């Protein structure tokens, strides 16, 4: 049973991510008033730009000016990440994928593919955080792709159990680095191991140096989720984060 504190105490959260951070930002904009004393600060840049993040003198810094500029835009003015300013860290998206591979693959190959996620950019950034602080670090994988066309037939519960098993296996893999994996809400997963299509409709692009955010991805995009999805995920993440902060 997940840990659920009776109330969310004041807490400063640092979110590090790529384009998928936009759903968390949009979700937070919707529910922030429900969590007085909790703040989220975003350090995000699209694609693989976070590969230019580095640990230096007890901080996380951008090695390229373009990334530094994205930090200023998404954080509201901060050029680098000072761990003393935050209580908990969240790494979002950044190629950490639990999407179902070809169902014809063997169990051994599926296990190998899951283990390969240890080399994802998400894990790289999480380990950089761990270099500069012992504070809690939570990992959010890329959401499962949204369904295309009619929702797949079958029992959603089977797909949800399979996803939960992957989260458990990945959590065991990252335990030595004292990292916590928080999977997407089970209620968003439909039959066939996909995200239900409604959670993708109206997803928006990240605000960054080369493009003003807020533009819609369009119906063709199945990779990015919307603010409703982000809000739901945050409602599950925040109590876990608060409990970890209380225990640290």
Place of tokens 């840049």: 45
Rounded to two decimals, what is the model's pTM? 0.89
**Residue 92 tokens, joined:** 């979002």
The pLDDT of residue 216: 59
**Helix, strand, coil tally for the chain in percent (to 5):** 45, 20, 35
- Cβ atoms of 189 and 7 within 8 Å: the answer is no
Helices 227-247 and 21-31 cross at an angle (nearest 10°) of: 80
The whole-number mean pLDDT for each consecutive block of 10 residues of the chain, a chain of 248 residues, reads: 58 97 96 95 94 97 95 95 98 90 68 82 96 97 86 79 92 92 96 90 76 63 89 96 92
């Amino acid at each position: 049973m997940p840990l659920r504190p009776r109330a969310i105490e004041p807490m400063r959260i640092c979110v590090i991510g790529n384009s998928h951070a936009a759903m968390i930002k949009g979700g937070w904009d919707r529910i922030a008033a429900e969590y007085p004393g909790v703040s989220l600060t975003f350090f995000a840049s699209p694609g693989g730009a976070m590969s230019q993040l580095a640990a230096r003198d007890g901080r996380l810094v951008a090695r390229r000016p373009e990334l530094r500029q994205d930090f200023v835009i998404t954080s509201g003015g901060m050029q680098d990440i000072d761990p003393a300013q935050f209580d908990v860290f969240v790494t979002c998206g950044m190629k950490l994928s639990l999407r179902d591979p070809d169902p014809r693959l063997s169990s051994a190959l599926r296990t190998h593919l899951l283990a390969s996620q240890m080399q994802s950019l998400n894990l790289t950034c999480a380990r950089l955080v761990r270099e500069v602080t012992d504070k809690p670090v939570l990992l959010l994988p890329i959401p499962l792709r949204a369904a295309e066309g009619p929702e797949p037939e079958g029992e959603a519960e089977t797909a949800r159990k399979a996803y939960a098993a992957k989260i458990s296996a990945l959590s065991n893999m990252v335990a030595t680095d004292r990292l916590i994996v928080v999977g997407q809400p089970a209620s968003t997963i439909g039959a066939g191991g996909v995200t239900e299509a409604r959670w993708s409709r109206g997803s928006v692009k990240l605000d960054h140096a080369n493009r003003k955010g807020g533009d819609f991805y369009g119906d063709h995009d199945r990779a990015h989720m919307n603010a409703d999805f982000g809000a739901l995920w945050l409602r599950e993440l925040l109590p876990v984060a608060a409990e970890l902060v209380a225990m640290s």
